[in-house]
Amino acid sequence: MSRIVVDPITRIEGHLRVEAEVDGGKITDAWSSCTMWRGIEKILNGRDPRDAWYFTQRICGVCTTVHAMASVRAVENALGIEPPLNAQIIRNLIQASQFVHDHVVHFYHLHALDWVDVVSALDADPSATAELAQSISTYPRSSPTYFAQVRDRLANFVAAGRLGPFTNGYWGHPAYRLPPEGNLLAVSHYLDALEFQRKYVEIHAILGGKNPHLQTYLVGGMAVPIDPNSQNAINAGTIGRLRGLLREGLDFVTQAYIPDLLLVASFYTDWAAIGGGLGNYMSFGDFPHGNKNPSTDPDNLFLPRGIVLGKDLGTVHPMDPGKIAEYVSHSWYTYEAGDDVALPPLEGETTPNYTGPEPPFEFLDTDAKYSWLKSPRYDDTPMEVGPLARMLVAYAAGHERVVELVDAVLSKLGVGAEALFSTLGRTAARGIETQVLAEYSLDLLDTLAANIAGGDLRIHNGELWDPKDWPAEASGFGMHEAPRGSLSHWVRIANGEIAGYQAVVPSTWNAGPRDANGRRGAYEAALLDTPMADPAQPLEILRTVHSFDPCMACAAHVLDKDGNPVVEVQVL
Amino acid sequence: MLETDTRRDSIVESLLARGVTRRRFLEFCAATTAILALPVTYEARIAEALETAEKPTLVWLEFQDCAGNSESFLRARDPGVADIVLDILSVDYHETIMAAAGHQAEAAREEAIARGGHIVVVEGSVPTAHGGVYCTIGGKTAQQILAETVQGAAAVINTGTCSAYGGIPAAAPNPTGAVGVPELVSGVPVVNLPGCPMNVDNLTATIVHYLTFGALPATDGVGRPLFAYGERIHDHCERRAHFDAGQFALEWGDEGHRKGWCLYKMGCKGPSTFHNCPSQRWNGGTSWPIGAGHGCVGCSEPFFWDTMTPIYGRLPAPPGFGVTTSLEKIGAGIVGLTALGFGAHGVAKAVQRKRGGDAVQTPVEIDRSALRTGSDEEGGER
């Protein structure tokens, strides 16, 4: 038995540490710890609720947009504001393109190097690589010359003696299985995807002024004006440019991402039986049709709301926001009523209480508190959230396009539906979702254009913009599906100011520590039984953890109800 | 582990070997000369410097961050991020993109420090309260890692308002005692590229400036390069003519808003913010916040989270056409650390608040009711 530590887990957002026990070439236990906290809750208290989206957006710059979206929905829900249809469609468009951008970057730049050996690509034959590429896709950059160029660039880079971001990678690790040609193909698209994501995100600059951290959200709508007869508003030219960018996105997903995903997966089908974890999946659902707030109108969504329990795809259980609660038994916080209770978000407390070892340290005391994350539970049950959860709920609910694509991928890989509950299933579901949303984004643009053509130029509902018109007290919540999973913001407003703000975040659901009953979170459960070829080079841990696409800055924001004074922190 | 020889090549050799044409390289030099506001004659000097410079090692540290500046870095164009990462710099440590993890990742950082002469980029603030337990990596605190990594460094570049000034974690009441890097580092040249996040064009230009002239660019009183932060947004705003003509958007989506009139009355902080957004714009010059219809929030100003909020509160100004003169004075007053607020009481509180140290025991409250006065009642109607 040996205990290994991977800290930092890289190629993620934020600061994540995994400790694991390895025995007989397998992981026998695992602990997931977030090692950063900022305390944005204290910072929000007393501020203007109309500013909250701008503050909460800074919870994360990778999932930029998602906390802004959840925040405006929470404040709108509290105050009873409905945005105009145009604003809702623009929000959906921003969200759908965020999914496409974020998932592409995850696959190529954060996750691919877990499966792709960059150095092996040097041994590839460019002609054979071109044949391989042309056999799986119509992606235009597929000539022997193109692959020879990439290989030569790479060779020159390696020969210069500086590997830059590829320094100390696990090159040559026995768990890498792609042939050199597969590796060269993937590395080529790694570079192409860097260019693609830079250009594609111009959608966000058009609709949001800039990316990261778009700046056109408003409580009550959006600040990007619409006027077919103005050069300073969304007009026919803007819509044409958006259409071009969205089409390029769909092309890249269809011609590069999906074929590459299937190619890589076909060499790693054993990972369809590894990393399954909890088996419980939750989705809040999202992409509202019409202009109702999806938080309280769950029946009118493009991606459905629901829960799949115990890997049973035969039943979609309803999801009730009132059943969410959080433990701090193994988190560096204290509850007034004791650390073994679970509190619902609107009654939540955030009193930091660091009891970990004094830095610098080697190991955490995982029998005690060991993370800056809380442990959220639904109906006292741990849940996995994210693309796999969304696709499983949609599949079980009979979402036509999702069913079609999931079945096609399973058939292509020659595996059954049980393969979905795995590390590979998580990675495949993310690709399927990207395809679904890249297609849907073009429908959204058509809907926007049709609405404008009908004469509707409204982008903001200003009836309750002035805080003088608000009730003395109000509270509400905003639900949202972020690329990494189910996100909810909860706000209390008193006398025009924020009196309490809470967020329960996707990576908190997935990366949180054990609860009062010792039940593991999703990462911890998924790592059990993972084979380890060489514990000194923990590539397999990265595969499963990366399949969740961790975002730790999000997870550890932890927002507070009423800004209680922080108690004395103990440094041992 | 892969064996490599130790031959180093120049940036331009590396670019040419990767198939970047000489013409494209010269175009990049021209574009950078423009960002840096240098005379055209400097294009040749930049090209020459890049042709002879060795690839510098870059170590990118993330502390109390949101990775927004890393994402901005990924949006680089001309040269694109692939060119920067593979050819212009040797990015030996960057948690968000590097292949290695855990011990192997930390070893890469240690090797870079041992070689020395590296450029350190920092993203995110550094928590100092309670022994720094609010941010650890590999079991070490952010403060420990920062102190280790700047040893022997050639320069420190702070990307974003958090690493420059403390940013959102340091906003009142600063629960973790977060501070900016300049408060902790001495003996190494430091430059601040604030913004939320920073615009990657300014990072590229700063690096090229360093490679070309062997020194960091000249800065203002709060450490920002004059080439990017020397002018007020208001002075170069495409909507300035509407301000001068008294044409203002008064409601979101009204005629003035649709026609691109001035957003001053919707809370725009452009008159008191120093940044090259209007000329440089974002995401390949596609747009920028004011261009998309929302006012400037002042994100490149130190402590803007406390001094520029509420976001939709209007900057103080006298009525009528005297507005221009008054705003010039206001703008000039904040070149230094002074921040502009929405009432004398709020500003005084904001500037007085204690940063760093044990914020938990000395929470400083900002009187937000005071911040709100002086908003809508002031400023002239058109």
At B228 the pLDDT is 97
Binning pLDDT at 50, 70 and 90, where does residue B9 land?
Answer: low
Residues B72 and B170 in one domain: yes
Question: Is A11 in contact with A109 (CB distance < 8 Å)?
Answer: yes
Tens of pLDDT along A431-459?
999 999 999 999 999 999 999 999 999 99
Q: Render B280-341 in DSSP notation, one character per residue.
A: H-BTTTTB-HHHHT-----TTSTTHHHHS-STTSPPP--SGGGHHHHHHHHHHHTSSS----
Look up residue B40 and give its two tokens: 């055209």
- The reply to whether A127 touches chain B by the CB within 8 Å rule is no
* Interchain contact, B2 vs A158, CB within 8 Å: yes
- The reply to whether A145 touches chain B by the CB within 8 Å rule is no
* Interchain contact, B310 vs A48, CB within 8 Å: yes
Cα B43 from Cα B140, distance rounded (Å): 44
- The ipTM estimated for the assembled molecules is 0.95
Where a domain ends, among B183, B211, B227?
Answer: B227
> Residue A8: which of B57, B70, B102 has the nearest Cβ?
B102
By C-alpha distance, the chain B residue nearest A364 is: B139
Residue type, B295: G
The CATH number covering residue B180 comes to: 3.40.50.700
Answer whether residue B361 is part of any domain.
no
Cα B8 from Cα A342, distance rounded (Å): 57
Tens of pLDDT along B44-80?
888 887 777 778 899 999 999 999 999 999 999 877 8
Binning pLDDT at 50, 70 and 90, where does residue B376 land?
Answer: very low
Under DSSP, the state recorded for A447 is H
pLDDT > 90: percent of chain A: 91
- The reply to whether A403 touches chain B by the CB within 8 Å rule is no
A453 CB burial (10 A radius; 0-12, 13-18, 19+): exposed
Residue B190 structural domain: 11-227
**Which among B72, B81, B98 is the top mutation candidate for probing chain A, defined by the most A β-carbons within 10 Å of its own β-carbon?**
B98
Answer whether residue B5 is part of any domain.
no
Torsion of CA B245, B251, B253, B255, to 10 degrees: -40
Q: Render B183-211 in DSSP notation, one character per residue.
A: GT--SS-EEEE-SSS--HHHHHHHHHHHH
Residues B84 and B149 in one domain: yes
**Which among B286, B296, B306, B367 is the top mutation candidate for probing chain A, defined by the most A β-carbons within 10 Å of its own β-carbon?**
B286
Q: What is the mean pLDDT of chain A?
A: 94
Q: Give chain A positions within 8 Å (CB) of B106.
A: 8
A437 CB burial (10 A radius; 0-12, 13-18, 19+): buried
A242 phi, psi to nearest 5 deg? -60, -40
Residue type, A69: M
Least confident of A19-33, A504-518, B73-87, B281-295: B73-87
By C-alpha distance, the chain B residue nearest A58 is: B66
Cα B168 from Cα B162, distance rounded (Å): 6
By C-alpha distance, the chain A residue nearest B140 is: A360
Binning pLDDT at 50, 70 and 90, where does residue A18 land?
Answer: very high
Residues B221 and B81 in one domain: yes
Cα A452 from Cα A447, distance rounded (Å): 9
Least confident of A127-136, A346-355, B76-85: B76-85
At B331 the pLDDT is 43
Decide if pLDDT at B230 tops 60.
Answer: yes
Cα A399 from Cα A395, distance rounded (Å): 6
- The reply to whether A58 touches chain B by the CB within 8 Å rule is yes
Residues B184 and B289 in one domain: no
Cα B82 from Cα A195, distance rounded (Å): 8
* Interchain contact, B134 vs A215, CB within 8 Å: no
Look up residue A80 and give its two tokens: 């009873």
Tens of pLDDT along A88-120?
999 999 999 999 999 999 999 999 999 999 999
- The reply to whether A223 touches chain B by the CB within 8 Å rule is yes
* Interchain contact, B290 vs A221, CB within 8 Å: no
- The reply to whether A105 touches chain B by the CB within 8 Å rule is yes
Answer whether residue B52 is part of any domain.
yes
Cα B291 from Cα B200, distance rounded (Å): 19
Q: Where are the beta strands (DSSP E) in B28-159?
A: 57-62, 90-94, 119-123, 126-127, 136-137, 140-141, 155-159
Answer whether residue B237 is part of any domain.
yes
Cα B294 from Cα B280, distance rounded (Å): 17
By C-alpha distance, the chain A residue nearest B68 is: A61
Answer whether residue B100 is part of any domain.
yes
At A321 the pLDDT is 96
Decide if pLDDT at B359 tops 60.
Answer: no
Where a domain ends, among B169, B195, B227?
Answer: B227
Q: What is the mean pLDDT of chain B?
A: 82
What is the nearest CA distance from A112 to chain B, expressed in angstroms? 10
* Interchain contact, B99 vs A233, CB within 8 Å: no
Count CB pairs under 8 A between chains A and B.
366
**Which among A65, A156, A162 is the top mutation candidate for probing chain B, defined by the most B β-carbons within 10 Å of its own β-carbon?**
A162
**Which among A102, A167, A365, A466 is the top mutation candidate for probing chain B, defined by the most B β-carbons within 10 Å of its own β-carbon?**
A167
Overall domain count for chain B: 2
Least confident of A147-161, A222-236, A452-466, B233-247: A147-161
Under DSSP, the state recorded for A112 is G
Tens of pLDDT along B262-284?
999 999 999 999 999 999 999 99
Answer whether residue B161 is part of any domain.
yes
Question: Is A5 in contact with A27 (CB distance < 8 Å)?
Answer: no
Binning pLDDT at 50, 70 and 90, where does residue A559 land?
Answer: very low
The CATH number covering residue B280 comes to: 4.10.480.10
> Residue A10: which of B98, B127, B259 has the nearest Cβ?
B98
Least confident of A156-170, A242-256, B232-246: A156-170
* Interchain contact, A168 vs B70, CB within 8 Å: no
Which residues of A does the annotation mark as catalytic?
13, 60, 63, 67, 484, 507, 551, 554
Answer whether residue B371 is part of any domain.
no
What is the nearest CA distance from A201 to chain B, expressed in angstroms? 7
Residues B208 and B248 in one domain: no
Residues B126 and B268 in one domain: no
Tens of pLDDT along B196-223?
999 999 999 999 899 888 899 999 999 9
What is the nearest CA distance from B82 to chain A, expressed in angstroms? 7
Greatest Cα pair distance, chain A, in angstroms, is: 71
Q: Render A123-138 in DSSP notation, one character per residue.
A: G--HHHHHHHHHHH--
Answer whether residue B369 is part of any domain.
no
Where a domain ends, among B184, B211, B227?
Answer: B227
User: What's the gap between Cα A207 and its chain centre?
Assistant: 21
Decide if pLDDT at B7 tops 50.
Answer: no
* Interchain contact, B68 vs A462, CB within 8 Å: no
At A557 the pLDDT is 52
Q: How many CA atoms lie within 13 A of A151 on its CB side?
A: 23
Tens of pLDDT along A268-304?
999 999 999 999 999 999 999 999 999 999 999 999 9
Residues B44 and B169 in one domain: yes
Q: How many CA atoms lie within 13 A of A337 on its CB side?
A: 8
Decide if pLDDT at A210 tops 90.
Answer: yes
* Interchain contact, B101 vs A47, CB within 8 Å: no
Residues B259 and B112 in one domain: no
Q: What b/e readout covers A94-106, taking b as 16+ CB neighbours within 10 angstroms?
A: bbbbbbbbbbbbb
Q: Give chain A positions within 8 Å (CB) of B101.
A: 6, 8-11, 538, 542
Residues B240 and B288 in one domain: yes
- The reply to whether A25 touches chain B by the CB within 8 Å rule is no
Residues B110 and B36 in one domain: yes
For chain A, helix, strand, coil in percent to 5 are 45, 15, 40
pLDDT > 90: percent of chain B: 63
The total of other beta-carbon atoms located within 10 Å of residue A196's CB is: 23
Residues B116 and B240 in one domain: no
Find, among B180, B168, B309, the residue nearest to A40 by Cα.
B168
At B81 the pLDDT is 86
Cα B342 from Cα B44, distance rounded (Å): 47
Residues B36 and B137 in one domain: yes
* Interchain contact, A457 vs B140, CB within 8 Å: no
